[in-house]
Amino acid sequence: MTIYLDNAASTCPKPEEVIQAVDDCLRSACANPGRGAHKAAVAAARIIFGTRQKAAALLGINDSADLVFTQNATDSLNLALHGYLRSGDHVVTSPVEHNAVLRPLKAMAARGVRITFTAADTAGRVSADDVLGALEPGTRLVVLSHASNVTGAILPVAEIAARLAEREVPLLVDAAQSAGSLPLKMAELPVGMLACTGHKGLLGPQGTGLLYIAPDIDLMTVRQGGTGTNSESGQDALGRPDRYESGTYNTPGIAGLGAAIDFLAAAGVQNLAAHKAALTARLHEALAKMTGVTVYGPGLGEPRAPLVSFNIAGMTSTEAAARLDRDYDIASRAGLHCAPGAHRLMGTLKTGAVRLSIGPFNTEDEIGEAAAAVSALVSRQS
């Protein structure tokens, strides 16, 4: 049976409740939400409303209308960046961001948006002082990942957001690796926007995402069309969240996301985070002791997201991942993980790295088997 350690890409397996919710939706609520008053359409609309309420409660958001459904974190980040920044604006980000941040910003730079990169260390850490030091008098936005998908470094986004608020500069947080994996309460995190996906720590289906937009943030829409409400008006006249949700919803996916949030609420995000942290620490310690293995990111005992990236001397990351899959039935991720800046800082831009990432259903025995498999690969190289 496969030992699945690629949860930072997409959690697997999903809770059984998620699978059942998707199935139930496709069987009994597969109509178009908000586009009719018949029973199936009303049932679909209730799924959308209910899941929005659940997600708002999980994230500590006061008004669920400030939470927009998207396709994934990339979609959320594109809406946030393209909807907020204009030609001539200045934005600050870090060199370790995912391409879901870097590529939209690069496209916007060609249209006159100016970008400054903060300092960062080889572990992917960025401090509040780094961010404040990169600001200019006209800085309009700061965008940072909460946790690196390569090194696992967790940024002090609460402190950064608070210090930026003193300068009246909003923070956009890429929470793809933290939502559902680390406790998040927006009352303690005064950010302007927060983007996440449904299919990672939130344990929902692929094709689902969320964007929180603070009440004082106004975004232009990047997609216009039917919403099922006020069809006689222009889209800019619509309130939240309708103006940002044109087109038909992924209702089955959102149903599954709602069930996943129920699972997380019952299990406790804090409890699941502690379980994953313990397994991550065990894996990190085992790999760090191996001669011929280089482990990246924060040191032993330092907080990190539930992932460990490493390389084996004399072996490419893709070869190591292929052998883990072929010889030991262990699913991992190799390469640059869509974050070339992080690898540039780590010195692994040409080699990439192997990433083992832990989910709530992984066990101590699986972590032990994974460590033993890496040790066996090292021995083959000797």
Q: Indicate if 33 and 182 belong to the same structural domain.
A: yes
The token duo for 319 is: 């070869």
Same domain, 43 and 156: yes
Distance CA 211, CA 68 (A): 5
- 223-255: per-residue pLDDT in tens? 877 766 666 666 665 788 989 998 899 999 999
| Same-domain pairing of 204 and 347 | no
| pLDDT tens, position by position, 293-327 | 999 999 999 999 999 999 999 999 999 999 999 99
What pLDDT does 228 receive?
Answer: 64
C-alpha distances out from residue 265 to 54, 147, 159, 162, 203, Å: 9, 22, 26, 27, 12
Residue-wise pLDDT for 193-214, tens only, equals: 999 999 999 999 999 999 999 9
Say if residue 68's pLDDT is above 60.
Answer: yes
Distances (CA, A) of 10 to 72, 188, 269: 11, 27, 17
Flag whether 259 is in a domain.
Answer: yes
Contact 337, 12 (CB under 8 A): no
Distance of CA 93 to the CA centre of its chain: 16
Q: How many structural domains are present in the chain?
A: 2
Q: Are residues 99 and 214 in the same domain?
A: yes
Say yes or no: 261 and 284 in one domain: no
> Is 44 part of a structural domain of the chain?
yes
Share of the chain above pLDDT 90, in %: 88
Residue 2 lies in a domain: no
- The rounded percent of the chain whose pLDDT value lies above 70 is 97
Residue 119: inside a domain: yes
Are 361 and 215 found together in one domain? no
pLDDT tier, 361 (very low <50, low <70, confident <90, very high otherwise): very high
- What is the predicted pLDDT for the residue at 225? 76
Q: Do 281 and 172 sit in the same domain of this protein?
A: no
Q: How far apart are CA 54 and CA 293, in angstroms?
A: 43
Q: Are residues 206 and 304 in the same domain?
A: no
Residue 5 lies in a domain: no
- For the cut 70, the answer to whether the pLDDT of residue 140 exceeds it is yes
7 within domain boundaries: no
Q: What is the mean pLDDT of residues 55-62?
A: 95
Predicted confidence band of residue 116 (pLDDT cuts 50, 70, 90) = very high
Last residue of a domain, which of 267, 298, 319? 267
Three-state SS across the chain?
Answer: CCEECECCCCCCCCCHHHHHHHHHHHHHCCCCCCCCCCHHHHHHHHHHHHHHHHHHHHHCCCCHHHEEEECCHHHHHHHHHHHHCCCCCEEEECCCCCHHHHHHHHHHHCCCCEEEECCCCCCCCCCHHHHHHHCCCCEEEEEEECECCCCCCECCHHHHHHHHHHCCCCEEEECCCCECCECCCHHHCCCCEEEEECCCCCCCCCCCEEEEECCCCCCCCCCCCCCCCCCCCCHHHCCCCHHHCCCCCCHHHHHHHHHHHHHHHHHCHHHHHHHHHHHHHHHHHHHHCCCCEEECCCCCCCCCCCEEEEEECCCCHHHHHHHHHHHHCEECEEECCCCHHHHHHHCCCCCCEEEEECCCCCCHHHHHHHHHHHHHHHHHHC
Q: Show the domain range for 295.
A: 269-381
Domain boundary among 247, 267, 287: 267
Distance CA 175, CA 173 (A): 6
Whichever domain contains 201, its CATH number is 3.40.640.10
Residue 16 pLDDT level (bands cut at 50, 70, 90): very high
Structure tokens of 15?
Answer: 């809770």
Last residue of a domain, one of 202, 233, 267: 267
Q: Report whether 198 contacts 210 (CB < 8 A).
A: yes
Domain for residue 4, yes or no?
no
Residues 229 and 120 in one domain: yes
